[in-house]
Structure 1
Amino acid sequence: SYDSRRTRLHAKAWLFHRESGFTTGLVGSSNLSSAAMLDGCEWNVRLAAVDNASILAKFVTTFGQYWDDAEFEPYDKARFQDATRRRDGDRDALARAIQLRPYPHQQSVLDALEVERSHGHTHNLVVAATGTGKTVIAALDYARLRKGGADPTLLFIAHRQEILRQSLATFRAAVRDGHFGELLVGDDRPTIGRHVFASIQAMHEKRLATLKPDAYDVVIVDEFHHAQADSYRALLSHFKPKVLLGLTATPERADGKSVLEWFDNRVAAELRLWDALDLGLVVPFQYFGIHDATDLSTVDFSGGRYDIASLEQLYTADHVRANAVIRALHDHVRDVTQFRALGFCVSIKHAEFMAKFFSQKGIASLAVSADTPDHKRSEALQKLRTGEVKVLFSRDLFNEGVDIPSVDTVLFLRPTESATIFLQQLGRGLRHEDGKACLTVLDFIGNAHKRFRFDLRFRSLVGGTRAGVRDAVEQGFPHLPAGCEIKLDRESQRAVLENVRALVGTSTRDLVEDLRGRGDVRLPVFLTGCDLEPEDLYKDGRCLTRLKRAANLRPASASETGEDEVMRALGRMLHVDDDVRLETWRTWLRGKKPIAADRDDPHQLMLFTILGYTPRPVTDMREAFAALWANVDLREELTDLLDVLADRQRRPTFTVEGVPFRAHATYTRDEVSAGLREVGDKGKLKRTQGGVLKNDRARVDILYVTLDKDPKHFTPTTLYDDYPISQSRFHWESQGTTRADSATGRRYQGLTEQPWRTLLFVRHKKWDARGATSPYLFLGPVRYVSHEKEKPMRIVWELERPMPAAFFNDVKVAAG
């Protein structure tokens, strides 16, 4: 990599590949230098394929993924010398702009925006963590809108001149036009006015009055969480653009007001902090959850927030807790005379209390707030940068807008209810600085109120579902980006687990009681009102129709034929994520009469099997559909569920000629068999178990791959060596009996007289977080590149279309 801002790979490893099978690896401290080879005392571990085959395979896989990463490029002497010279910030910024291309995580956002607009959502919000490149995303998105010769007018809004100048440079690189755009900030005024980069201060009432509401086709607003301020509301209310794009690290302001009202209360795409960490765009963090024995369970809690006055009284009277904070600093910070920290408090009074207490204990500290005069605030920041002051305590003053790369420690001295504010405050310490290896985070955790949401905080760090957070806490957060650690002491782990388990374990009885209070509401309203994901509701055969009947809101159905199968099947439909299935099935279900059963229609067969009718002959389709249409309650819920799934769908899918499956959509094995019309002798759909399926009608071989193979569920003969090499290449191991010159081997190599295709279906794990069988992501057709050995054949496939970036980022660690 020629990016000298961060270390991407420091490989001290050697692989000696031998055709004999006695391949050897060396991992350790040795460089390939005279001192290392002859004189130095070096420490290495030798790995032999004979003794350490699995470890060596992981070695090879991981290196292969790095080798195929677009960021790692061939050595060029002139370019290397240029990359290692003394840096010039302006030239570096220009060079990065000229080479503008999306990282995989940015491409995922661009894909999501494309899908949202195809669904008619033209006002979109992108929530992106610190360092993930929001401006690059906006620039590339706008460049895409210009395809085909279009030249949409543009207004880009930010609140600082430096941001506007950097954004203009980025957009010029994206559209490949060095004269693109004009500034409206300070003394700069546009002369043409078609593509304007303006400060919010410049878009005052008088200027707005001179501009028509449709003056700009595209309006992009940076730091959109300011949108509730009067100046932003005036601008957003005045303009009526065809496309509105908001960029922010948080859709929630410090005052609790949300900006989602401008976007139909939806987020188009969200980038996790994980992505920035994985790419080295921010420093890794060491997070320590420290139990402080404070009892918050009885503190007033309403509207998702603690009562500030009660917290202030509790914390400012507690010298024991303040002493515990100092002890924790000595335990977790290498040198308390050298660190620089921000401490986030519950109130100004609490910040002043902590600053005074720390200073009395010999740790120079100051408290600052919105009431602090500007010159005093600037002076305090400068003292922190120089080390004259070690800690600045505040309430929410440093959530945004202050760049202090030297901060290497963050203290959370308050229960931060908002996950987005938590990430903002964490982000203050994640910027790179010379000599800064990581950020130390000390989070002081008390016994929380039962309605406090620890799950939101940890989901903001690691992603996933509530159940996934519960598992991560129980297991000690085993899967984190390189260099990161989350460590909860025993009491903190207990407090967090009790809180998260109470949320994950939402009982049927609780949901029934909640439903009685809400009345006979439709599925989307119920999910939103109870803050549930579909995965939280649909498990263990549970569904909304069952809950309504238990709450005596709906009577039992007059037609119960096949009802139980369908009720249980609803939980197995949550993976459906392509427009064709969703729209086709919704159109049918909205009709008053059952569709005419057609055993040759793959989408009817897929609906038949996903509704739980796989054990029945396909000749029962007519009867099954008639029973479903007669069950008004269940058909209503099914239609609502498909609406919910369509609303959350963000990944584009693509037509694959000759099969009813769309690349990058998700399918169960039974759906694949149904789509290929695999019907057995008894008239039932075939249910496959192995890793391959040959279909003569479509002339395709189906490959089913599970990447994270649990030895409990796979025998030694089925633990195949399967993994993604890059977004476009995949390593796959055939069944153990396959020879290169066999009919199957020849099909794989494309050596048949008639065209034959191979289709690749991949999943991360066999089971999802609910314990249900995981479906497969269809990566599309693949082309043979090469293979090694036989019985089994180890084949490298080239994907017809690169796999989704987000999926690759998730599974490359698991596979490698």
Structure 2
Amino acid sequence: MDIRPYQAKLIEKTKQSLLNGHRHVLVQSPAGSGKTITMAEIAKSATDKGNRVLFVVHRQEIIQQVTRTFDNWGVNMSLCDIGMIQTVTRRIAKMKTPQLILCDEAHHSLATSYKRVFRHFDNATLVGFTATPVRLSGKGLGDVYDDLIIGPQIDWLINNHFLAPFDYYAPTLIDVEKLKRTSTGDYSNKSMDDAVKIRAVFGDVLKTYRTVADGTKTIVYAHNVQASIDIAKAFNCAGYHAQQVDGKTPAEKRKEAMVNFRSGKTQILVNAELYGEGVDVPDCQTVIMLRPTDSLTLFIQQSMRGMRYRPNKRAIIIDHVANVYRFGLPDTDREWSLKDRPKQEKHRGKSDGPAIKSCPKCYGIVPAQVKQCPLCGYSFRADGTDLEVDPTAKLKKVDKKVFKIVADYSKTKYGQMKAEDAESPEDMYAIAKARGYKPGWAYHQIVARGWLKERKRA
């Protein structure tokens, strides 16, 4: 492999920044843009001059991947130490002093363990890499880094065949009103359990997959371990070969799962607490998000996991948890900074992305100005009554008198109906009742079809 032009430009800018007197430089480059290769070239240049390099990561899987890449790139591994931040912190007193520290996924740099390493080797040059230089707390990374180098935009990488183009579908299957943030900023485990009723949405998850992504290699992001187990079981029962892993899965089994996925033995890899950052799976085509998040970093890492470039590849992103309504599309242009962010921007980064809307037929997310959905051909109404609403907004209280309550809805015709079978708001509420969904789900579907506005005009 050769260094790509934009990677060479990032390296040149980094060197110039160091020559200008900056000692801690942060490099922003999108997910899938080849940060490991860029770091390998920097490491090779350092070891070629006899300088020692320390590379810190936060997951075991990334160590193996980075070691292999660095070795193949020609880095003098006798002068390069690669380790998890926890291990480096424990052994710091016995380690040889590096002249250069490379920090992967550098948005973690404000953590105590990272700062301890940086302080211990305070004479070393530090170069960090991240796709998203932003923290959930809104705290800027300027406490650690004194210069920020900005990489290419995602849409440029797609247009120049360095990332795969994508189709984005967002059929929301959760009760967003249930989501509650913790003191750290992201949603609490309990609120995600309340919002994401996994067993109630199996049918819709499978149906969407069959409709827009059937047969593709897929990574599913679940919101907790039990959900990931249940989802994998549902896919296996439906005839697909799915495998489940999570943060507590033994290392050897996790390695086996990835080998099976890369070889094609496993078609669908369902995970919780894994594969959010740094793991390179170029032939993954589809991502299914069943983990709501208010973290821009997590959203970018998960949504773009299937966008590694392959000729003629088109990535598919299926977002069942309304993440796109919080952050926009993955290729939305964003402004990055080392400064602290205002409260209203702390989760997202400043963005002036184009307006989007959701197709009421296929739930594809498309530019607001299009008159026909490029994914399914649906023609949007000129008056806008069929436009999707933002399901993260506060849902109005549902009038439960709208439909007649039946003792056991699962035994009625509504128990066998899907959302697309509904012919009226009353039907939609009845389907929600029969399938165990919250009334808010029915309300969301009704507004998406324009029925609520039509009834009001009437």
TM-score of the pair, normalised by structure 1:
0.37
What is the root-mean-square deviation of aligned Cα atoms in Å? 4.5
The CA deviation at 1:332 is 0.9
Preserved contact between residue 344 and residue 411 of structure 1 (Cα < 8 Å): yes
Encode CA deviations 1:718-745: one digit per residue, 9 max, x unaligned. Answer: xxxxxxxxxxxxxxxxxxxxxxxxxxxx
User: Secondary structure in 2 aligned to 1:339?
Assistant: coil
Shift of 1:288: 1.6
Cα deviations by residue, 1:618-673 (Å, 9 ceiling, x for unpaired): xxxxxxxxxxxxxxxxxxxxxxxxxxxxxxxxxxxxxxxxxxxxxxxxxxxxxxxx
Amino acid at match of 2:272: R
| Aligned twin of 1:339 | 216
Shift of 1:412: 0.8
Pair 1:280-2:150 in alignment: no
Q: Deviations over 1:566-591 (max 9, x none)?
A: xxxxxxxxxxxxxxxxxxxxxxxxxx
> In the aligned structure 1, how far is the partner of 2:124 from the partner of 2:142?
17
State the Cα distance separating 1:366 from its structure 2 match: 3.1
For 1:444, the aligned partner's letter is: H
- Equivalent position amino acid for 2:233 in 1: K
The 3 A distance-change label for structure 1 pair 229 and 281 is: same
Give the conservation status (yes or no) of the 8 Å contact 2:177–2:392: no
- For residue 399 of structure 1, give the secondary structure of its aligned residue in structure 2: coil
Partners of 1:153 and 1:216 within 8 A in 2: yes
2:353 counterpart of 1:469: yes
The alpha-carbon distance between structure 1 residues 343 and 155, as it changes in their structure 2 partners (threshold 3 A), is same
Which residue does the alignment assign to 2:34?
133
For 2:137 and 2:283, how far apart are their aligned partners in 1?
29
Letter in structure 1 aligned against 2:305: R
Find out whether 1:301 has 2:181 as its counterpart: yes
Q: For residue 77 of structure 2, what is the aligned residue in structure 1?
A: 183
Give the match for residue 444 of structure 1: 320
Give a deviation string over 1:117-174, Cα, whole Å, max 9, x none: 74x643121122233233554577789999xxxx69452415536524644665x6xx
Task: Give 1:397 shift.
Answer: 0.8
For residue 130 of structure 2, the aligned residue among 248, 262, 279 is 248
**Is the alpha carbon distance of 1:305 and 1:313 closer, same or farther for their aligned partners in structure 2, counting shifts above 3 Å?**
same
In 2: Cα distance, 1:257 partner to 1:383 partner:
39
In 2, Cα distance between equivalents of 1:497 and 1:312: 18
Partner SS, residue 227 of structure 2? helix
**Taking structure 1 as reference, are residues 339 and 233 closer, same or farther at Cα in structure 2, changes over 3 Å only?**
same
| Deviations 1:775-795 (CA, angstroms, capped at 9, x unpaired) | xxxxxxxxxxxxxxxxxxxxx
Matches of 2:83 and 2:44, distance apart in 1: 23
Q: Distance in 2 between matches of 1:154 and 1:115?
A: 20
From 53, 64, 67, the equivalent of 1:155 is: 53
* Superposition pairs of residues 320-331 of structure 1, within 5 angstroms: 321-331=201-211
Distance 2:67 2:172 in 1: 43
Q: Partners in 1 of 2:30 and 2:303 — Cα distance?
A: 10
Alignment-mate amino acid for residue 127 of structure 1: Q
Residue equivalent to 2:106? 224
Shift of residue 432, structure 1, vs aligned partner: 4.4
**Stretch of structure 1 that moved more, 377-386 or 307-316:** 377-386
CA separation in 1, counterparts of 2:7 and 2:113?
32
- Separation in 1 of the partners of 2:251 and 2:259? 12
Q: Secondary structure at the match of 2:128?
A: strand
AA aligned opposite 2:172: H
Give 2:244's aligned amino acid: A
Whether contact under 8 Å (2:217, 2:267) holds in the other structure is yes
Matches within 5 A, 1:355-370: 355-370=232-247
CA shift for structure 1 position 229 = 7.2
Q: 1:476 to 1:247 in 2, by over 3 A?
A: same
Match of 1:74 in 2: none
Q: Write out aligned runs for 1:682-697 (5 A).
A: none
Which SS does the other structure have where 2:313 is aligned?
A: coil
- 1:494 counterpart SS class: coil
TM-superposed CA distance for 1:197, in Å, is 1.8
Q: Once the two structures are superposed, what CA deviation does each residue of 1:508-549 show, in whole Å capped at 9, x if it has no partner?
A: xxxxxxxxxxxxxxxxxxxxxxxxxxxxxxxxxxxxxxxxxx
Contact map agreement 2:110 2:144 (CA 8 A) in 1:
no
Amino acid aligned to 1:463: D
Flag the 1:106–1:210 CA change in 2: closer, same or farther, 3 A.
closer
Tell me the amino acid that sits aligned with residue 412 of structure 1.
M
Tell me how far 1:411 sits from its aligned partner: 0.3
Give the match for residue 631 of structure 1.
none
Name 1:103's counterpart in structure 2: 5
Equivalent in the alignment of 1:199: 82
Instruction: Name the SS for the 2:209 alignment partner.
Output: helix
8 Å contact kept, 2:101–2:125: yes
**Retained in 2: the 8 A contact 1:291–1:489?**
no
Distance 1:210 1:318, change over 3 A: closer
Between 1 and 2, higher relative CO (CA 8 Å, sep ≥ 6) is seen in 2
Residues of 2 paired with 1:265 and 1:453: CA distance? 32
* 1:376 counterpart residue number: 253
Letter in 2 for 1:279: N
Counterpart amino acid of residue 442 in structure 1: I
Deviation at 1:376, TM superposition (A): 3.0
List aligned pairs for 1:53-68, cutoff 5 A. Answer: none
1:359 to partner: Cα distance: 2.8
Tell me the CA shift for residue 239 of structure 1: 0.7
* Amino acid of the structure 2 residue aligned with 1:183: M
Structure 2: which amino acid aligns with 1:130?
A: A
Describe the shift of the 1:382–1:493 C-alpha distance in structure 2 as closer, same or farther (beyond 3 A).
Answer: farther
Distance 2:53 2:260 in 1: 38
Q: Measured at CA, do residues 257 and 400 of structure 1 come closer, stay the same or move farther in structure 2, by a change above 3 Å? A: farther
CA contact (8 A) 1:312 1:349 kept: no
One-letter identity of the residue aligned with 1:325: V
The 1:261–1:487 alpha-carbon spacing in structure 2 relative to 1, beyond 3 Å, is farther
CA–CA distance in 1 between the matches of 2:51 and 2:231? 51
User: Structure 2 vs 1, CA of residues 421 and 106 (structure 1 numbering), >3 Å: closer, same or farther?
Assistant: farther
In structure 2, distance between residues paired with 1:198 and 1:362: 45
Q: Matched residue of 2:274: which SS?
A: coil
Q: Secondary structure at the match of 1:368?
A: strand
Q: Distance in 1 between matches of 2:189 and 2:297?
A: 19
Superposed, 1:426-437 pairs within 5 Å as 426-432=303-309, 437=313
The equivalent residue for 1:400 is 277
For residues 130 and 306 of structure 1, what CA distance do their matches in structure 2 show?
23
Distance 2:283 2:71 in 1: 28
Rounded to whole Å, the distance in 1 between the matches of 2:146 and 2:375 is: 34
- Aligned counterparts of 1:138 and 1:420: Cα–Cα separation in 2: 20
Equivalence for 2:340: none
Aligned pairs for 1:763-778 (under 5 A) are none
Please give the alpha-carbon distance, in whole angstroms, between the structure 1 residues aligned to 2:368 and 2:324: 22
Q: Which amino acid aligns with 1:290?
A: P
SS of the residue 1:200 aligns to: strand
Per the TM alignment, residue 355 of structure 1 is displaced from its structure 2 partner at its CA by: 2.0
Number of positions where the alignment pairs a residue of Structure 1 with one of Structure 2: 357
Question: Shift of residue 424 of structure 1?
Answer: 1.6
- Cα distance in structure 2, aligned partners of 1:240 and 1:413: 42
The AA in structure 1 aligned to 2:104 is D
Structure 2 counterpart of 1:393, one-letter code: V
**For the pair shown, which has the larger CA radius of gyration, 1 or 2?**
1
1:492, 1:441 → 2: CA distance?
22
- Match for 2:299 among 422, 425, 440? 422
CA distance in 2, matches of 1:210, 1:281: 37
Cα contact 1:218–1:244 (8 A) shared by 2: yes
Identity of aligned residues (%): 20
Q: What is the correspondence of 1:472-621 to structure 2 with a 5 Å cutoff?
A: 472-473=356-357, 476-477=366-367, 494-496=388-390
Question: Could you tell me which amino acid in structure 2 is paired with residue 197 of structure 1?
Answer: C
